[in-house]
Structure 1
C-alpha cells in the first residue's frame, strides 16, 4: 500500500518530460514520431479513450488511488500507487471517451466515461491543457 501524497499539494506544478529511456514493455507501443502506435482503451470495458497517433509518452511521478474504493472514504485516506509513465495530450477534445471524477486539491482524476472505472489518469487544474493517462491503467490495442 502506497502512502497517499495528495494531501501534500504544493504551489509548484508537477513537471513531466518526454520519456527517453523507454522501458522494454512500452517500446512496441511507440511510433517513430514518438506518439502512441496503438489505440488506448479502457482495460475493463475496452471503450476507446484515445486514437492511435494522438498522445506522447512522458515521465511524471504521480500518485493514483486504486480503483473502486469506498465512496465515503476521505481523500487523504485513499490507498494507491505512484505511477511514472503516462500518455500525454494537451487538449481534452483529443479524447474519444473520458470522464472526470473526484477533484482533490488541484488534481482532477480521469476515468472511463462508459464504465466509470478509474482513475486512469490525471489533470492538474493549475495546468488545464495537460492530461495524463497512466500506461498501467489502460489497454493498448490495434
Structure 2
C-alpha cells in the first residue's frame, strides 16, 4: 500500500516523492503503476490509502526480471537477474531536504533490490561513509539517494520506488 499524506493543502505520495496541490487530481506514476483518484475534502490530518500494483511483475525466481534504470536520466543501474527482492522497512533520506533543517528528513521504504557485490551494478555512485552506511546515487546524474550500502555486510540495497524498471 502507498500512503498519501496531506500537509497544509499539499499532498505527498509518501512512497513516491510526489507533492500535489488541489483536489480532484489524477496521478499515474508510470514506474510504480500507482494510481490515485479524487482527493476531495481531505484535511491536514487525513491519510488516504491507495493501491499500488503488485511487484510480482518485476520479479522472476526471486530476482529482478527487468532492467533497473535511473528515474531521471534513464542510466542503467542493474541488469536483469542481478538482484534479489527483500521486503524490509528501512529509513532512506529524502532526495531533497529543506534549507535550515536541523535533522535529515527520511522516509521508511519497504521494498529493496539486494545486490550482494558492488561490482554487480552496471552504473552506480557511492557517497562517503555515514557511520557504517554509504548512500547510492545515479553515477551519471548524481541524483538520489536511490538506496544504501552496508559497510559491514558489504550488501547494497536499491529502493524499488526510487528507480524505474524497463
The TM-score range, normalised by the shorter chain, is: 0.7 to 0.9
Count, aligned residues: 117
Aligned to 2:69: 41
> Alpha-carbon deviations, 1:93-133, whole Å to 9, x = none?
100000012432211100000000010001111111x1100
Structure number with the higher strand fraction is 2
Instruction: Name 1:137's counterpart in structure 2.
Output: 162
Structure 2: stretches of 5+ with no match in the other structure:
6-13, 15-51
TM-score between the two structures when normalised by the length of structure 1:
0.74
Query: Which gives a bigger RCO, structure 1 or 2 (Cα 8 Å, sep 6+)?
Result: 1
* TM-score scaled by length of structure 2: 0.64
Q: How does 1:7-18 map to 2 (within 5 A)?
A: none
- State how 1:48-59 maps to structure 2 within 5 Å: 48-59=76-87
CA separation in 2, counterparts of 1:71 and 1:108? 22
Q: How far did 1:89 drift?
A: 1.1
Query: Which one of the candidate residues 88, 91, 112 is aligned to 2:117?
Result: 91
Aligned 1:59-78 pairs, distance under 5 A:
59-69=87-97, 77-78=103-104
Aligned twin of 2:126: 100
8 Å CA contact 1:68–1:117 kept in 2: the answer is no
Which one has the largest radius of gyration? 2
Quick one: distance in 1 between partners of 2:142 and 2:54?
26
Taking the aligned partners of 1:114 and 1:71, their CA distance within structure 2 comes to 25
